[in-house]
Structure 1
Protein backbone atom coordinates (compact mmCIF):
# COMPACT_ATOMS: atom_id res chain seq x y z
CA UNK A 1 0.00 0.00 0.00
CA UNK A 2 1.22 3.51 -0.81
CA UNK A 3 2.27 5.45 2.25
CA UNK A 4 -0.10 8.07 3.60
CA UNK A 5 1.39 11.55 3.25
CA UNK A 6 1.20 13.63 6.42
CA UNK A 7 2.20 17.26 6.87
CA UNK A 8 1.87 18.15 10.54
CA UNK A 9 3.17 20.80 12.89
CA UNK A 10 2.34 24.26 14.22
CA UNK A 11 1.03 27.08 12.07
CA UNK A 12 4.09 29.22 12.57
CA UNK A 13 7.57 28.99 14.08
CA UNK A 14 7.21 30.39 17.60
CA UNK A 15 10.82 29.74 18.62
CA UNK A 16 13.15 26.75 18.86
CA UNK A 17 12.21 25.59 22.36
CA UNK A 18 8.47 25.63 21.66
CA UNK A 19 8.76 23.94 18.31
CA UNK A 20 10.95 21.17 19.74
CA UNK A 21 8.17 20.19 22.16
CA UNK A 22 5.76 19.71 19.26
CA UNK A 23 8.39 17.88 17.19
CA UNK A 24 8.91 15.40 20.05
CA UNK A 25 5.16 14.80 20.30
CA UNK A 26 5.11 13.75 16.64
CA UNK A 27 7.94 11.19 16.76
CA UNK A 28 5.65 8.15 16.90
CA UNK A 29 3.79 9.29 13.80
CA UNK A 30 6.97 10.27 11.98
CA UNK A 31 8.41 6.79 12.59
CA UNK A 32 5.27 4.97 11.42
CA UNK A 33 6.26 2.92 8.33
CA UNK A 34 2.82 3.57 6.81
CA UNK A 35 3.31 7.36 6.86
CA UNK A 36 5.42 9.67 4.68
CA UNK A 37 5.94 12.44 7.23
CA UNK A 38 6.79 16.13 6.77
CA UNK A 39 7.15 18.55 9.66
CA UNK A 40 5.17 21.72 8.95
CA UNK A 41 5.77 25.26 10.21
CA UNK A 42 5.91 28.68 8.55
CA UNK A 43 8.76 31.10 9.12
CA UNK A 44 6.34 33.89 8.21
CA UNK A 45 2.58 34.21 7.75
CA UNK A 46 2.33 37.22 5.49
CA UNK A 47 -1.46 37.06 5.10
CA UNK A 48 -2.55 37.83 8.66
CA UNK A 49 -5.84 39.73 8.98
CA UNK A 50 -4.42 42.41 11.25
CA UNK A 51 -1.03 44.09 11.48
CA UNK A 52 -0.99 43.27 15.19
CA UNK A 53 -1.30 39.49 14.70
CA UNK A 54 1.82 37.37 15.20
CA UNK A 55 3.24 36.35 11.83
CA UNK A 56 6.47 34.57 12.74
CA UNK A 57 10.12 35.20 13.54
CA UNK A 58 11.24 35.99 9.99
CA UNK A 59 12.86 34.04 7.20
CA UNK A 60 16.44 33.99 8.54
CA UNK A 61 15.66 32.87 12.09
CA UNK A 62 12.66 30.77 11.04
CA UNK A 63 14.65 28.69 8.55
CA UNK A 64 17.42 28.33 11.12
CA UNK A 65 14.91 26.80 13.56
CA UNK A 66 13.47 24.49 10.90
CA UNK A 67 16.95 23.35 9.96
CA UNK A 68 17.63 22.52 13.63
CA UNK A 69 14.47 20.39 13.69
CA UNK A 70 15.58 18.68 10.49
CA UNK A 71 19.01 17.86 11.90
CA UNK A 72 17.88 16.79 15.38
CA UNK A 73 14.81 14.74 14.47
CA UNK A 74 15.57 13.76 10.87
CA UNK A 75 12.25 15.17 9.70
CA UNK A 76 11.55 16.34 6.18
CA UNK A 77 10.29 19.94 6.19
CA UNK A 78 7.45 21.85 4.54
CA UNK A 79 7.11 25.63 4.79
CA UNK A 80 5.20 28.44 3.09
CA UNK A 81 6.73 30.93 0.71
CA UNK A 82 5.11 34.23 -0.18
CA UNK A 83 7.55 35.99 -2.50
CA UNK A 84 9.91 34.88 -5.25
CA UNK A 85 13.05 35.95 -3.39
CA UNK A 86 12.19 33.47 -0.62
CA UNK A 87 12.30 30.43 -2.92
CA UNK A 88 16.07 29.95 -3.04
CA UNK A 89 16.49 30.49 0.70
CA UNK A 90 13.64 28.18 1.69
CA UNK A 91 14.78 25.47 -0.73
CA UNK A 92 18.03 25.15 1.22
CA UNK A 93 16.04 23.72 4.14
CA UNK A 94 12.58 22.64 2.96
CA UNK A 95 11.68 19.46 1.12
CA UNK A 96 8.28 20.89 0.16
CA UNK A 97 7.69 24.49 -0.90
CA UNK A 98 4.09 25.43 -0.20
CA UNK A 99 2.14 28.04 -2.15
CA UNK A 100 -0.44 29.56 0.24
CA UNK A 101 -4.11 29.47 -0.75
CA UNK A 102 -4.39 33.22 -1.21
CA UNK A 103 -1.43 33.08 -3.64
CA UNK A 104 -2.48 30.05 -5.69
CA UNK A 105 -2.88 32.21 -8.81
CA UNK A 106 0.50 33.93 -8.48
CA UNK A 107 2.23 32.76 -11.65
CA UNK A 108 5.73 34.06 -10.86
CA UNK A 109 5.75 32.40 -7.43
CA UNK A 110 4.66 29.02 -8.80
CA UNK A 111 7.09 29.16 -11.73
CA UNK A 112 10.06 30.21 -9.59
CA UNK A 113 9.31 27.48 -7.04
CA UNK A 114 9.00 24.89 -9.79
CA UNK A 115 12.53 25.66 -11.02
CA UNK A 116 13.80 23.94 -7.87
CA UNK A 117 13.93 20.18 -7.32
CA UNK A 118 11.55 20.41 -4.35
CA UNK A 119 8.01 19.08 -4.07
CA UNK A 120 5.53 21.87 -4.80
CA UNK A 121 2.30 21.90 -2.78
CA UNK A 122 -0.27 24.38 -4.06
CA UNK A 123 -3.14 25.11 -1.71
CA UNK A 124 -6.48 25.69 -3.40
CA UNK A 125 -7.80 29.18 -2.77
CA UNK A 126 -11.03 29.41 -0.79
CA UNK A 127 -12.38 31.40 -3.75
CA UNK A 128 -11.41 28.88 -6.46
CA UNK A 129 -13.50 26.45 -8.47
CA UNK A 130 -11.70 23.10 -7.99
CA UNK A 131 -11.64 22.37 -11.73
CA UNK A 132 -9.75 25.64 -12.33
CA UNK A 133 -6.89 24.52 -10.09
CA UNK A 134 -5.64 22.45 -13.02
CA UNK A 135 -4.27 25.68 -14.49
CA UNK A 136 -2.23 26.41 -11.38
CA UNK A 137 -0.91 22.86 -11.56
CA UNK A 138 -0.08 23.33 -15.25
CA UNK A 139 2.12 26.32 -14.43
CA UNK A 140 4.32 24.03 -12.36
CA UNK A 141 4.06 21.07 -14.74
CA UNK A 142 5.14 23.06 -17.79
CA UNK A 143 7.99 24.70 -15.89
CA UNK A 144 9.24 21.18 -15.13
CA UNK A 145 9.02 20.02 -18.74
CA UNK A 146 5.62 18.34 -18.67
CA UNK A 147 2.67 19.06 -20.92
CA UNK A 148 -0.50 17.78 -19.28
CA UNK A 149 -2.00 18.12 -15.82
CA UNK A 150 -3.01 14.57 -14.99
CA UNK A 151 -2.53 12.56 -11.80
CA UNK A 152 0.42 10.45 -12.95
CA UNK A 153 2.32 13.38 -14.50
CA UNK A 154 1.86 15.56 -11.42
CA UNK A 155 2.92 12.68 -9.16
CA UNK A 156 6.04 12.05 -11.26
CA UNK A 157 6.99 15.73 -11.29
CA UNK A 158 6.21 16.22 -7.58
CA UNK A 159 3.41 18.76 -7.90
CA UNK A 160 0.67 18.36 -5.29
CA UNK A 161 -2.60 20.11 -4.54
CA UNK A 162 -4.26 20.77 -1.19
CA UNK A 163 -7.97 21.26 -0.44
CA UNK A 164 -8.66 23.64 2.46
CA UNK A 165 -12.34 24.49 2.12
CA UNK A 166 -14.31 27.06 0.14
CA UNK A 167 -15.82 30.39 1.17
CA UNK A 168 -19.40 29.96 2.37
CA UNK A 169 -20.72 33.47 2.64
CA UNK A 170 -18.79 35.60 5.11
CA UNK A 171 -16.90 34.14 8.06
CA UNK A 172 -17.30 30.47 7.22
CA UNK A 173 -15.86 27.71 5.04
CA UNK A 174 -17.41 24.51 3.75
CA UNK A 175 -15.75 21.44 2.24
CA UNK A 176 -17.35 20.05 -0.90
CA UNK A 177 -16.06 16.47 -0.97
CA UNK A 178 -16.67 16.37 -4.72
CA UNK A 179 -13.67 18.69 -5.11
CA UNK A 180 -11.36 15.92 -3.86
CA UNK A 181 -12.46 13.68 -6.74
CA UNK A 182 -12.35 16.50 -9.29
CA UNK A 183 -8.84 17.67 -8.35
CA UNK A 184 -7.42 14.15 -8.01
CA UNK A 185 -7.87 13.77 -11.76
CA UNK A 186 -4.94 16.13 -12.32
CA UNK A 187 -2.79 15.96 -9.16
CA UNK A 188 -2.19 14.08 -5.90
CA UNK A 189 -4.55 15.65 -3.36
CA UNK A 190 -3.82 16.50 0.25
CA UNK A 191 -6.71 17.30 2.57
CA UNK A 192 -6.16 20.18 5.00
CA UNK A 193 -8.31 19.13 7.94
CA UNK A 194 -7.59 22.09 10.19
CA UNK A 195 -7.80 25.14 7.91
CA UNK A 196 -11.03 23.71 6.55
CA UNK A 197 -12.72 24.39 9.91
CA UNK A 198 -11.62 28.02 10.05
CA UNK A 199 -14.04 30.91 10.38
CA UNK A 200 -12.17 33.66 8.52
CA UNK A 201 -12.24 37.06 10.18
CA UNK A 202 -14.60 35.97 12.95
CA UNK A 203 -12.13 36.38 15.80
CA UNK A 204 -12.08 40.15 16.06
CA UNK A 205 -9.37 40.93 13.53
CA UNK A 206 -8.23 37.33 13.13
CA UNK A 207 -9.62 33.97 12.06
CA UNK A 208 -11.35 31.71 14.54
CA UNK A 209 -12.51 28.13 14.03
CA UNK A 210 -13.89 24.96 15.57
CA UNK A 211 -11.26 22.22 15.80
CA UNK A 212 -13.82 19.62 16.94
CA UNK A 213 -14.91 19.23 13.30
CA UNK A 214 -11.39 18.61 11.95
CA UNK A 215 -11.25 14.86 12.75
CA UNK A 216 -14.74 14.39 11.29
CA UNK A 217 -13.81 16.03 7.99
CA UNK A 218 -10.53 14.10 7.89
CA UNK A 219 -12.38 10.79 8.23
CA UNK A 220 -14.81 11.82 5.48
CA UNK A 221 -11.90 12.70 3.17
CA UNK A 222 -10.31 9.32 3.89
CA UNK A 223 -13.51 7.61 2.80
CA UNK A 224 -13.64 9.63 -0.43
CA UNK A 225 -9.95 8.94 -1.10
CA UNK A 226 -7.00 11.32 -0.81
CA UNK A 227 -3.22 10.97 -0.92
CA UNK A 228 -2.54 12.57 2.43
CA UNK A 229 -3.34 15.14 5.09
CA UNK A 230 -2.24 18.55 6.24
CA UNK A 231 -2.92 18.94 9.97
CA UNK A 232 -1.81 21.85 12.10
CA UNK A 233 -1.03 20.70 15.61
CA UNK A 234 0.32 22.21 18.82
CA UNK A 235 1.01 20.94 22.32
CA UNK A 236 -1.10 23.80 23.71
CA UNK A 237 -3.53 25.02 21.01
CA UNK A 238 -5.30 27.51 23.29
CA UNK A 239 -2.04 29.42 23.68
CA UNK A 240 -0.72 29.01 20.15
CA UNK A 241 0.31 32.32 18.60
CA UNK A 242 -1.54 31.62 15.34
CA UNK A 243 -4.59 29.52 14.32
CA UNK A 244 -4.93 27.83 17.69
CA UNK A 245 -8.72 27.59 17.47
CA UNK A 246 -8.62 25.13 14.58
CA UNK A 247 -5.55 23.08 15.59
CA UNK A 248 -5.59 19.50 16.87
CA UNK A 249 -3.67 18.94 20.10
CA UNK A 250 -0.46 17.00 19.43
CA UNK A 251 -1.40 14.44 22.09
CA UNK A 252 -4.53 13.52 20.09
CA UNK A 253 -3.03 13.19 16.65
CA UNK A 254 -1.79 9.58 16.99
CA UNK A 255 -5.27 8.12 17.44
CA UNK A 256 -6.66 10.17 14.54
CA UNK A 257 -3.94 8.91 12.20
CA UNK A 258 -4.58 5.32 13.24
CA UNK A 259 -8.21 5.78 12.21
CA UNK A 260 -7.32 7.45 8.89
CA UNK A 261 -4.92 4.65 7.99
CA UNK A 262 -7.58 2.02 8.74
CA UNK A 263 -10.10 3.83 6.52
CA UNK A 264 -7.50 4.13 3.76
CA UNK A 265 -6.85 0.39 3.93
CA UNK A 266 -10.57 -0.36 3.72
CA UNK A 267 -11.07 1.96 0.76
Structure 2
Protein backbone atom coordinates (compact mmCIF):
# COMPACT_ATOMS: atom_id res chain seq x y z
CA UNK A 1 0.00 0.00 0.00
CA UNK A 2 1.38 3.35 -1.09
CA UNK A 3 0.49 6.43 0.94
CA UNK A 4 0.90 9.84 -0.71
CA UNK A 5 0.14 12.40 1.98
CA UNK A 6 0.93 15.83 3.35
CA UNK A 7 -0.51 19.35 3.55
CA UNK A 8 -2.38 20.79 0.58
CA UNK A 9 0.15 23.57 0.13
CA UNK A 10 3.39 24.60 1.82
CA UNK A 11 2.65 27.09 4.59
CA UNK A 12 5.78 27.04 6.75
CA UNK A 13 8.54 24.67 7.86
CA UNK A 14 6.96 23.98 11.24
CA UNK A 15 3.71 22.60 9.79
CA UNK A 16 5.48 20.79 6.95
CA UNK A 17 8.11 19.08 9.13
CA UNK A 18 5.62 18.17 11.85
CA UNK A 19 3.32 16.56 9.31
CA UNK A 20 6.10 14.73 7.50
CA UNK A 21 7.53 13.33 10.74
CA UNK A 22 4.10 12.14 11.87
CA UNK A 23 3.26 10.47 8.56
CA UNK A 24 6.66 8.87 8.08
CA UNK A 25 6.50 7.24 11.52
CA UNK A 26 2.89 6.17 10.99
CA UNK A 27 3.68 4.55 7.64
CA UNK A 28 6.65 2.75 9.18
CA UNK A 29 4.36 1.46 11.94
CA UNK A 30 1.84 0.00 9.49
CA UNK A 31 4.29 -1.07 6.79
CA UNK A 32 3.10 1.38 4.13
CA UNK A 33 5.36 2.98 1.54
CA UNK A 34 5.36 6.73 2.11
CA UNK A 35 5.60 9.68 -0.30
CA UNK A 36 5.32 13.23 1.03
CA UNK A 37 3.11 15.58 -1.00
CA UNK A 38 2.59 19.30 -1.00
CA UNK A 39 2.24 22.12 -3.52
CA UNK A 40 4.43 25.17 -3.95
CA UNK A 41 1.68 26.84 -6.00
CA UNK A 42 -2.05 26.13 -6.25
CA UNK A 43 -2.84 27.82 -9.54
CA UNK A 44 -6.54 26.93 -9.70
CA UNK A 45 -7.86 28.64 -6.59
CA UNK A 46 -11.47 29.84 -6.62
CA UNK A 47 -10.61 33.45 -5.81
CA UNK A 48 -7.77 35.77 -6.70
CA UNK A 49 -7.47 36.42 -2.95
CA UNK A 50 -6.95 32.73 -2.04
CA UNK A 51 -3.55 31.59 -0.76
CA UNK A 52 -1.60 29.93 -3.59
CA UNK A 53 1.68 29.06 -1.91
CA UNK A 54 5.22 30.47 -1.83
CA UNK A 55 6.08 29.85 -5.49
CA UNK A 56 8.54 27.53 -7.19
CA UNK A 57 11.79 29.07 -5.93
CA UNK A 58 10.87 28.72 -2.26
CA UNK A 59 9.31 25.37 -3.11
CA UNK A 60 12.66 24.09 -4.33
CA UNK A 61 14.37 25.37 -1.17
CA UNK A 62 11.81 23.55 0.95
CA UNK A 63 12.10 20.26 -0.96
CA UNK A 64 15.87 20.31 -0.48
CA UNK A 65 15.47 20.82 3.27
CA UNK A 66 12.81 18.13 3.54
CA UNK A 67 14.98 15.58 1.73
CA UNK A 68 17.96 16.36 3.95
CA UNK A 69 15.94 16.13 7.17
CA UNK A 70 13.68 13.12 6.50
CA UNK A 71 14.98 11.35 3.39
CA UNK A 72 11.45 10.83 2.06
CA UNK A 73 10.23 10.63 -1.51
CA UNK A 74 8.38 13.76 -2.66
CA UNK A 75 5.45 14.40 -5.00
CA UNK A 76 4.36 17.80 -6.21
CA UNK A 77 2.16 19.17 -8.98
CA UNK A 78 3.21 21.60 -11.70
CA UNK A 79 1.39 23.84 -14.16
CA UNK A 80 3.68 24.49 -17.13
CA UNK A 81 6.45 22.93 -19.18
CA UNK A 82 8.95 25.36 -17.68
CA UNK A 83 7.97 24.40 -14.13
CA UNK A 84 8.40 20.70 -14.92
CA UNK A 85 11.93 21.31 -16.15
CA UNK A 86 12.82 23.24 -12.97
CA UNK A 87 11.20 21.06 -10.34
CA UNK A 88 12.09 17.60 -11.72
CA UNK A 89 15.52 17.61 -10.09
CA UNK A 90 14.09 18.00 -6.59
CA UNK A 91 11.16 15.57 -6.46
CA UNK A 92 10.49 11.90 -7.19
CA UNK A 93 7.00 12.10 -8.69
CA UNK A 94 5.57 14.82 -10.92
CA UNK A 95 1.81 15.25 -10.70
CA UNK A 96 -0.38 16.54 -13.50
CA UNK A 97 -3.34 18.45 -11.99
CA UNK A 98 -6.86 17.25 -12.77
CA UNK A 99 -7.78 20.30 -14.83
CA UNK A 100 -4.67 19.80 -16.99
CA UNK A 101 -4.90 16.05 -17.50
CA UNK A 102 -5.74 16.33 -21.23
CA UNK A 103 -3.13 18.99 -22.04
CA UNK A 104 -0.73 17.23 -24.38
CA UNK A 105 2.22 19.58 -23.79
CA UNK A 106 1.87 19.21 -20.01
CA UNK A 107 1.81 15.41 -20.32
CA UNK A 108 4.81 15.54 -22.65
CA UNK A 109 6.77 17.65 -20.17
CA UNK A 110 5.96 15.21 -17.37
CA UNK A 111 7.02 12.22 -19.44
CA UNK A 112 10.23 13.86 -20.64
CA UNK A 113 11.24 14.63 -17.03
CA UNK A 114 12.15 10.98 -16.50
CA UNK A 115 10.23 10.95 -13.23
CA UNK A 116 7.29 8.84 -12.17
CA UNK A 117 4.16 10.61 -13.42
CA UNK A 118 0.93 10.79 -11.45
CA UNK A 119 -2.09 12.12 -13.33
CA UNK A 120 -5.13 13.31 -11.43
CA UNK A 121 -8.18 12.22 -13.41
CA UNK A 122 -10.22 15.27 -14.32
CA UNK A 123 -13.59 15.69 -12.63
CA UNK A 124 -15.00 15.78 -16.16
CA UNK A 125 -13.34 12.56 -17.39
CA UNK A 126 -14.85 9.09 -17.72
CA UNK A 127 -12.47 6.36 -16.50
CA UNK A 128 -12.05 4.87 -19.99
CA UNK A 129 -11.06 8.29 -21.34
CA UNK A 130 -7.91 8.10 -19.23
CA UNK A 131 -6.60 5.42 -21.57
CA UNK A 132 -5.80 8.21 -24.04
CA UNK A 133 -3.84 10.01 -21.31
CA UNK A 134 -1.79 6.90 -20.60
CA UNK A 135 -1.14 6.43 -24.31
CA UNK A 136 0.11 10.01 -24.61
CA UNK A 137 2.48 9.57 -21.68
CA UNK A 138 3.76 6.26 -23.02
CA UNK A 139 4.27 7.78 -26.47
CA UNK A 140 6.41 10.54 -24.96
CA UNK A 141 8.53 8.06 -23.00
CA UNK A 142 7.07 7.87 -19.49
CA UNK A 143 8.32 4.73 -17.77
CA UNK A 144 6.05 4.60 -14.72
CA UNK A 145 2.53 6.05 -14.66
CA UNK A 146 -0.06 6.41 -11.93
CA UNK A 147 -3.67 7.54 -12.28
CA UNK A 148 -5.43 9.10 -9.32
CA UNK A 149 -9.21 9.06 -9.00
CA UNK A 150 -10.50 12.20 -7.28
CA UNK A 151 -14.24 12.10 -7.89
CA UNK A 152 -16.58 13.24 -10.66
CA UNK A 153 -18.52 16.47 -10.90
CA UNK A 154 -22.01 15.68 -9.62
CA UNK A 155 -24.26 18.65 -10.18
CA UNK A 156 -23.13 21.98 -8.78
CA UNK A 157 -20.41 22.21 -6.09
CA UNK A 158 -20.35 18.48 -5.47
CA UNK A 159 -18.37 15.35 -6.33
CA UNK A 160 -19.19 11.65 -6.31
CA UNK A 161 -16.91 8.61 -6.57
CA UNK A 162 -17.79 5.83 -9.01
CA UNK A 163 -15.95 2.78 -7.69
CA UNK A 164 -16.27 1.07 -11.06
CA UNK A 165 -13.48 3.37 -12.23
CA UNK A 166 -10.83 1.43 -10.32
CA UNK A 167 -11.11 -1.90 -12.19
CA UNK A 168 -11.77 -0.06 -15.46
CA UNK A 169 -8.58 2.02 -15.25
CA UNK A 170 -6.62 -0.97 -13.94
CA UNK A 171 -7.11 -2.54 -17.37
CA UNK A 172 -4.68 -0.03 -18.93
CA UNK A 173 -2.66 1.35 -16.00
CA UNK A 174 -0.82 -0.69 -13.37
CA UNK A 175 -0.93 1.90 -10.59
CA UNK A 176 -4.32 3.23 -9.51
CA UNK A 177 -4.49 5.66 -6.59
CA UNK A 178 -7.51 7.03 -4.76
CA UNK A 179 -7.54 10.66 -3.63
CA UNK A 180 -9.40 10.40 -0.35
CA UNK A 181 -9.67 14.02 0.67
CA UNK A 182 -10.28 15.78 -2.64
CA UNK A 183 -13.12 13.35 -3.27
CA UNK A 184 -15.00 14.86 -0.30
CA UNK A 185 -14.32 18.40 -1.47
CA UNK A 186 -17.21 20.70 -2.40
CA UNK A 187 -15.67 22.71 -5.27
CA UNK A 188 -16.51 26.38 -4.91
CA UNK A 189 -18.81 25.43 -2.04
CA UNK A 190 -18.17 28.65 -0.13
CA UNK A 191 -18.67 30.84 -3.15
CA UNK A 192 -15.22 32.41 -2.80
CA UNK A 193 -13.45 29.11 -1.99
CA UNK A 194 -14.00 25.36 -1.92
CA UNK A 195 -15.50 23.63 1.07
CA UNK A 196 -15.53 19.96 2.04
CA UNK A 197 -16.95 17.19 4.22
CA UNK A 198 -14.00 15.45 5.85
CA UNK A 199 -16.28 13.24 7.97
CA UNK A 200 -17.01 11.13 4.89
CA UNK A 201 -13.34 10.57 3.98
CA UNK A 202 -12.86 7.37 6.04
CA UNK A 203 -15.87 5.70 4.41
CA UNK A 204 -14.57 6.38 0.91
CA UNK A 205 -11.03 5.33 1.81
CA UNK A 206 -12.09 2.01 3.30
CA UNK A 207 -14.21 1.23 0.25
CA UNK A 208 -11.35 2.07 -2.13
CA UNK A 209 -8.94 -0.22 -0.30
CA UNK A 210 -11.53 -2.98 -0.45
CA UNK A 211 -11.74 -2.40 -4.22
CA UNK A 212 -8.01 -3.06 -4.53
CA UNK A 213 -6.45 0.32 -5.23
CA UNK A 214 -2.66 0.43 -5.14
CA UNK A 215 -2.44 3.47 -2.91
CA UNK A 216 -4.17 6.36 -1.21
CA UNK A 217 -3.59 10.07 -1.71
CA UNK A 218 -4.69 12.31 1.14
CA UNK A 219 -4.06 15.76 2.53
CA UNK A 220 -3.12 15.90 6.20
CA UNK A 221 -2.62 18.92 8.46
CA UNK A 222 -2.00 19.32 12.22
CA UNK A 223 -4.94 21.74 12.45
CA UNK A 224 -7.04 21.61 9.26
CA UNK A 225 -9.49 24.26 10.39
CA UNK A 226 -6.69 26.83 10.44
CA UNK A 227 -5.10 25.68 7.16
CA UNK A 228 -4.63 28.24 4.40
CA UNK A 229 -5.99 25.93 1.70
CA UNK A 230 -8.52 23.05 1.52
CA UNK A 231 -8.88 22.85 5.29
CA UNK A 232 -12.48 21.60 5.17
CA UNK A 233 -11.52 18.34 3.51
CA UNK A 234 -8.08 17.70 5.08
CA UNK A 235 -7.66 15.21 7.94
CA UNK A 236 -6.04 15.90 11.29
CA UNK A 237 -3.54 13.54 12.92
CA UNK A 238 -6.08 11.75 15.10
CA UNK A 239 -8.39 10.94 12.18
CA UNK A 240 -5.41 9.84 10.11
CA UNK A 241 -4.08 7.39 12.68
CA UNK A 242 -7.49 5.80 13.13
CA UNK A 243 -7.94 5.53 9.36
CA UNK A 244 -4.52 3.93 8.88
CA UNK A 245 -5.39 1.25 11.40
CA UNK A 246 -8.64 0.52 9.56
CA UNK A 247 -7.17 0.39 6.06
CA UNK A 248 -4.28 -1.79 7.26
CA UNK A 249 -6.73 -4.39 8.54
CA UNK A 250 -8.77 -4.30 5.31
CA UNK A 251 -5.61 -4.51 3.18
CA UNK A 252 -4.21 -7.48 5.12
CA UNK A 253 -7.53 -9.32 5.09
CA UNK A 254 -8.23 -8.97 1.37
CA UNK A 255 -4.90 -8.52 -0.39
CA UNK A 256 -2.06 -10.05 1.62
TM-score when scaled to structure 1? 0.92
SS at match of 1:126: coil
Query: Does residue 170 of the first structure (1) align with residue 156 of the second (2)?
Result: yes
2:117 equivalent in structure 1: 120
Query: Does residue 207 of the first structure (1) align with residue 194 of the second (2)?
Result: yes
TM-score when scaled to structure 2? 0.96
1:197 equivalent in structure 2: 184
> What does residue range 60-71 of structure 1 map to in structure 2 within 5 Å?
60-71=57-68
- Post-superposition offset of 1:158: 1.0
What are structure 2's unaligned runs of at least 5 residues? none
SS at match of 1:234: coil
Map Cα deviations across residues 70-102 of structure 1 (whole Å, 9 max, x no partner): 110111100001111011211111100000001
- Post-superposition offset of 1:32: 4.0
Decide which moves more: 58-67 or 214-223. 58-67
Cα RMSD (Å) of the superposition? 1.2
Query: Does residue 131 of the first structure (1) align with residue 118 of the second (2)?
Result: no
Say which of 218, 223, 228 aligns to 2:210.
223
Q: Is the 8 A contact 1:15 1:57 kept in 2?
A: no
CA–CA separation in structure 1 for the residues paired with 2:139 and 2:250: 35
CA–CA separation in structure 1 for the residues paired with 2:108 and 2:245: 36
2:31 equivalent in structure 1: 34
Q: Is the 8 A contact 1:208 1:245 kept in 2?
A: yes
Runs (4 or more) in structure 1 with deviation over 2 Å come to 29-34
Say which of 30, 47, 53 aligns to 1:50.
47
Query: Does residue 23 of the first structure (1) align with residue 20 of the second (2)?
Result: yes
1:237 equivalent in structure 2: 224
Map Cα deviations across residues 131-164 of structure 1 (whole Å, 9 max, x no partner): 000111111111117xxxxxxxxxxx21000000
Q: Is the 8 A contact 2:218 2:234 kept in 1?
A: yes
Aligned length: 253
1:81 equivalent in structure 2: 78
Map Cα deviations across residues 14-69 of structure 1 (whole Å, 9 max, x no partner): 12222112122213124347211100000000010110000000000012112211
CA–CA separation in structure 2 for the residues paired with 1:67 and 1:29: 22
2:239 equivalent in structure 1: 252
Query: Does residue 159 of the first structure (1) align with residue 145 of the second (2)?
Result: yes
CA–CA separation in structure 2 for the residues paired with 1:258 and 1:81: 32
CA–CA separation in structure 1 for the residues paired with 2:168 and 2:224: 33
Q: Is the 8 A contact 1:15 1:65 kept in 2?
A: no
What are structure 1's unaligned runs of at least 5 residues? 146-156
Map Cα deviations across residues 104-123 of structure 1 (whole Å, 9 max, x no partner): 00110111110122110000
